[in-house]
Structures are given as C-alpha cells and as structure tokens.
Amino acid sequence: MLVWTCCLCCLCTEGEIVHTLPEGPPVDGVTTLGEQVYVLRGKERDQVEVYDVITYSLQRHLTVRNARGFADMTSCEHSLCLYISDPGAECIHCVGLRGNATQWSVSDKPRGLSVNAPHNVLVTCRTVRKIKEFSPRGDLLRDVTLPDDVINPRHAIQLTSGQFIVCHGGPGDRVHRVCTVSADGHKTVHSHGGQPGSDTGQYNVPSYLAVDDNECAFVIDVYNQRVTLLSPTLNYIRQVVSRHQVKWGPVRLCFDVQRRRLYVVDNEVTDGRVVVFCV
C-alpha cells in the first residue's frame, strides 16, 4: 500500500515520448518479450516486426501463416512465444520466437488477449460476452460469462486476486467503462466510467488495458485520444497520454514493467506506428 501511495505522489504528469517506431500498415498488436519488442501488422507475410528493446533497431521478421486477419497479440515469458488472435479464422496463432507456429480454435471471434499468472491465455470474445481461458497448448480450461451490463467487452486481464479487469463499450452503447469483475464473472466489484463522454470520469470506447506491478491500470480511450491511469480500485489518477502526443489515435498498448516503458499503438485507416513513452 505504501508503494502505491508513493506512486500517486510521483506520477503527476503525462508520459514522456522517448522513441517512435517506423510508420507502416496499421498495427494490430504490440508486446515485449525479453530484450525485444514485437509489432504486429496486417500484411500477407513478415507480419511481426522484431525490434531491439534498447536501440529500437529492426532485428528480423516473423511470418504468421494461414492468417485471415488479426485483432491482438500478447506474449508469454514462460512459454517463450507470441499469441495472436485471428477473428476471421476464429483461432489463436501460437508463434515461437524462431517462427515455428501452431494454432487452435476458439469457436468464437477472439479479440483482446492476455496471459495470467498460471501462464494460461485469456481470450476476450466480445459478441458472446465471455472470457475464455486456454492452456498454452490450446486446451479450453473454462469460460467466464460476464455480467449482463458488460456489453461489448474488448479486453480483460486477470489480477492476482483472481478477479478480472475488463474494458467495455462500443459506438452506440450506453455504457463505456472499466470494471473489476469477480473471478467467477458473476459480480461487478469496482467500476470507472458510465455514459460516454470526454470528462475525466468518462470514456468514449475504452478499448484496451495494461496493468503495472502495483495493479494500477492503463486504459486506452479511443475517441478521446488518450490513455488514462487508474488505481487498483479504479479511481482516476491522471492522464498518461494526451491527444497532442499521438498523430492519429491510440488503440492498443503494452507496458514493460521492468523498464517503465509504455508502448502505445497509434493508428489510422491505412497507417500505423508505435509510440514509446517513459512513465
């Protein structure tokens, strides 16, 4: 608790831009693993660009075969692989760091991805309002149906308590918010947001999450073009990224706890890039 209180005192300004990775086709995901940054783009081949985490120099490419479209990417330090969601094929691609790949069916359209403490893959399925948990080999372990008022969930992360933090709400929905949901999915424990808007307590399509080592949450707010930082109980702390720091619009992000770097995907219809912030 003391650590988190100190964090609140120090984190009072926007993040500082330290680097911008090259522009290219829209970015569908970003993650870090070891000493490298992985950037996913919607192309026919060489979709994953691999950069050095210190120099940001391009090292190599990885190709995801038999892909029909991407929605997200995450990584697992335990399994040493990338997980990529493919809504078109309703599957997850598991890509090894040497380019070897397998895939498994989700039986729904997968969207946001994360990896929990037991190294299992959490797949957010927006249409059916579920979080599906898979083993590293692709075995379905369980699915969690979210509360009725969680409409259009886009991304979920499991906390150390077993609870899930979820962002939800799309264009036309009456509620746009971030909420903490019980481990069984039955109950909403905390929430931030409500009716869509631009005030500090509102969102306009909260699309993606990351948590730091204190379980404070970074939240992408797409149409407000910002990233918000919330406390573990989902109280507002500050704005980490503002609209003047992005060229187009933030849609996804990844947080490197060790280096305190926030990687923010900044996209438009035909172009995309990743902006690196020190936070």
User: What is the pLDDT averaged over residues 162-180?
Assistant: 97
> What per-residue confidence (pLDDT) applies to 98?
87
Q: Per-residue confidence at 41, pLDDT binned at 50, 70, 90?
A: very high
Whether 6 shows a pLDDT value over 90: the answer reads no
pLDDT digits over 71-97, tens only?
A: 999 999 999 999 999 999 999 999 999
pLDDT of residue 12: 52
3-state class of 279 per DSSP? coil
- Sequence-distant (6+) residues with CB within 8 A of 29 are 38, 39, 40, 70, 71, 72, 73, 74, 84, 252, 265
Distances (CA, A) of 82 to 17, 93, 106, 219, 271: 26, 8, 16, 22, 23
The confidence band for 11, taking pLDDT boundaries of 50, 70 and 90, is very low
Amino acid symbol at 269: V
Residues 36 and 53 sit within 8 Å (Cβ to Cβ)? yes
| CA proximity to 86, closest of 135, 29, 37, 39 | 29
Q: What are the extents of the domains in the chain? A: 2-278
Enter the tokens of residue 256. Answer: 């490197």
Helix (H, G, I), strand (E, B) or coil at 180: strand
Cβ pair 160, 215 in contact under 8 A: yes
Q: Is the pLDDT of residue 198 over 80?
A: yes
What span, in angstroms and rounded, lies between the C-alpha atoms of 175 and 181? 16
What's the mean per-residue pLDDT of the chain? 94
What pLDDT score does 57 carry?
Answer: 98
- pTM as predicted: 0.94
CA pair distance 268, 39, nearest whole angstrom: 16
Q: Comparing C-alpha atoms, which of 92, 65, 251, 27 is closest to residue 37? A: 27
Once rounded to an integer, what is the mean pLDDT over residues 37-45? 95
Number of H helices, E strands in the chain: 1, 24
pLDDT of residue 2 exceeding 70, the answer is no
> Is CATH 2.120.10.30 the classification given to domain 2-278?
yes
pLDDT of 99 reads 86
The 10s digit of each residue's pLDDT in 111-147 is 999 999 999 999 999 999 999 999 999 999 999 999 9
Q: How many CB atoms lie within 10 A of CB 83?
A: 26
Residue 177 · residue 190 · CB < 8 Å: no
